[in-house]
Structures are given as C-alpha cells and as structure tokens.
C-alpha cells in the first residue's frame, strides 16, 4: 500500500495502481482519499497534483515521458 498527498488540500491519497504511478505515459492514477472514518470511493488523480507525504515532488521519470532527453 502506498500513499501520496494531494498538494492543494494536504489530504492523503491511497494509490491503487503502482504501475500507473510509475508509467510516465499516464498523466493520472486511480486512488482514493483517506480522510475520516470511511474509505473514499476510487477516483482519478492527476500526477501533477500529487506529492509524497514529505512534500517531495514525484520523480521526473514517473511524470515526463521525455525525461531521458535531458533538461
């Protein structure tokens, strides 16, 4: 189980597909909010809106299909 944070709200998101997360060709991932006592319904989250719980950005190789082309 992996959690990321929605940067704007600060809410934790459970990542439902690690393979989608690390695929640079996908710009969104399935996940669900973890806030309150009830588990949220799955929905789609844009990777650009997510960070690690430590506020670190996602690795470029997860979000940029051209990351090998240089800066």
What is the domain partition of the chain in residue ranges? Answer: 2-69
Query: At 70, is the pLDDT very low, low, confident or very high (cuts 50, 70, 90)?
Result: low
pLDDT at 71 over 60: no
Position 35 scores a pLDDT of 74
Distance CA 20, CA 36 (A): 26
pLDDT in tens, 16-69: 999 999 999 999 999 999 876 777 789 999 999 999 999 999 999 999 999 887
pLDDT number for residue 1: 87
pTM: 0.85
Q: What is the layout of strands, in order, in the sheet containing 12-15? A: 43-46, 28-34, 12-15, 2-6, 50-51
């Amino acid at each position: 189980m992996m959690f990321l944070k929605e940067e704007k709200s600060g809410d934790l998101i459970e990542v439902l597909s690690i393979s989608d997360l690390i695929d640079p060709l996908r710009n969104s991932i399935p996940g669900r909010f973890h806030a309150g006592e009830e588990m949220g319904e799955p929905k789609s989250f844009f990777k650009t809106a997510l960070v690690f719980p430590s506020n670190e950005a996602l690795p470029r190789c997860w979000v940029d299909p051209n990351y090998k082309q240089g800066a």
